[in-house]
Chain A
């Protein structure tokens, strides 16, 4: 039995929010990352993430396969965040706005920049991506989810996830080119 299975069994048996807290602590980052990628607002993302976990607690008994908890809770997060976004009708960020990003005048090519700088830049560029692409990138790279997992979480087909993943990678590449203008080469 995995840690998650034991935790969930304990929560269901005791019906105690205290026991649920351990599970919240384990997955709060994953859930919050998905929410913030879609909503682009910390306060709103936290609010939605809290609702996600409350719904998770209420519906935990309906989860048949306890090993699927991560995908299940992320699916709730994805759905809730998308619903909230639709409700608020947040304007989509245009890729052309990326020039306003953090690294305005960088002299160092991306490949030569320090890991911390590269991480920071990529994090900010991810936030400029289309919300679906940003979510897929976060799930795939930051949370190590497989394409199949992402398909389950987002409700997209596997091939659709793959296409969006490639699009997101290309968008990242383009945005980095804009940031490091001297790296633009004839290939693009």
Chain B
């Protein structure tokens, strides 16, 4: 009697055979002890494969990942405060200082014509630059806090 090869038995086992093949394999298995034994072995392998456990990483793996992500964020934060961002910082601050002055004059009804009597142009410019810088730092710091929050984890990996 011609036996059924392992490959066909695998196909039959996982339901990957057409109706003719299925019928043929079923008939053969009913009469062939060797093929039945082989089929039992394949079934056993198949069912055991579903039971095999996944590999487990070391304890503290997720903590290590979190720590690494945070470290990268801290590095990014340092980068954002590097000198190349200072011009953008001042520009942002300058725009915000002007906007806040306008809003202040409208909302608080401040008459800035009075200020001209007290401050000369240079002092006013100096105040504007200082407030630009303050706004700039404030603005960038807010961005950093929003997107790059470093946090310390007590347990190391």
Bitwise, A156-188 to B at CB < 8 A (1) or not (0) is 000000000010011011001000000101111
Q: Please give me the residue from chain B that is nearest to A174 by CB atom.
A: B6
B interface residues, how many (CB within 8 angstroms): 43
A-B pair number, CB within 8 angstroms = 125
B64: which A residues are within 8 A, CB to CB? 50
Q: Does A17 contact B61, Cβ atoms closer than 8 Å?
A: no
A interface SS class = helix
B55 → A minimal CB distance (Å): 5
A187-B45 contact given A17-B73, A46-B58, A170-B10, CB 8 Å threshold: no
Bitwise, B16-48 to A at CB < 8 A (1) or not (0) is 000000000000000000110110111011101
- Asked if B115 CB lies within 8 Å of chain A CBs, one says no
A residues with a Cβ closer than 8 A to B are 15-18, 20-21, 24-25, 28-30, 32-33, 36, 42, 45-46, 49-50, 53-54, 57-58, 110-111, 115, 118-119, 122-123, 126, 137-138, 141-143, 166, 169-170, 172-173, 176, 183, 185-188
Q: Does A17 contact B70, Cβ atoms closer than 8 Å?
A: yes
Q: Does A57 contact B57, Cβ atoms closer than 8 Å?
A: no
- Asked if B147 CB lies within 8 Å of chain A CBs, one says yes
B109 → A minimal CB distance (Å): 38
B47 → A minimal CB distance (Å): 9
Alpha-carbon gap, A138 to B50, bound state (A): 9
B interface SS class = helix
Alpha-carbon gap, A16 to B73, bound state (A): 10
- Asked if B100 CB lies within 8 Å of chain A CBs, one says no
Q: Please give me the residue from chain B that is nearest to A14 by CB atom.
A: B149
A187-B52 contact given A20-B66, A166-B7, CB 8 Å threshold: no
Alpha-carbon gap, A167 to B49, bound state (A): 15
A141: which B residues are within 8 A, CB to CB? 49-50, 52
A119 → B minimal CB distance (Å): 5
Q: Name the 3 nearest CB pairs between A and B, nearest first.
A: A141-B49, A17-B69, A24-B62
B3: which A residues are within 8 A, CB to CB? 186-187
Q: Does A176 contact B62, Cβ atoms closer than 8 Å?
A: no
A32-B149 contact given A122-B45, A169-B45, CB 8 Å threshold: no
A161 → B minimal CB distance (Å): 13
- Asked if B142 CB lies within 8 Å of chain A CBs, one says no
A53: which B residues are within 8 A, CB to CB? 65, 69
Contact partner, B48, options A21, A46, A119, A183, Cβ 8 Å: A119
Contact partner, A142, options B5, B38, B54, Cβ 8 Å: B54
Bitwise, B66-85 to A at CB < 8 A (1) or not (0) is 10111011000000000000
A15-B147 contact given A50-B65, A118-B44, CB 8 Å threshold: yes
A29-B45 contact given A17-B69, A18-B66, A49-B61, CB 8 Å threshold: no
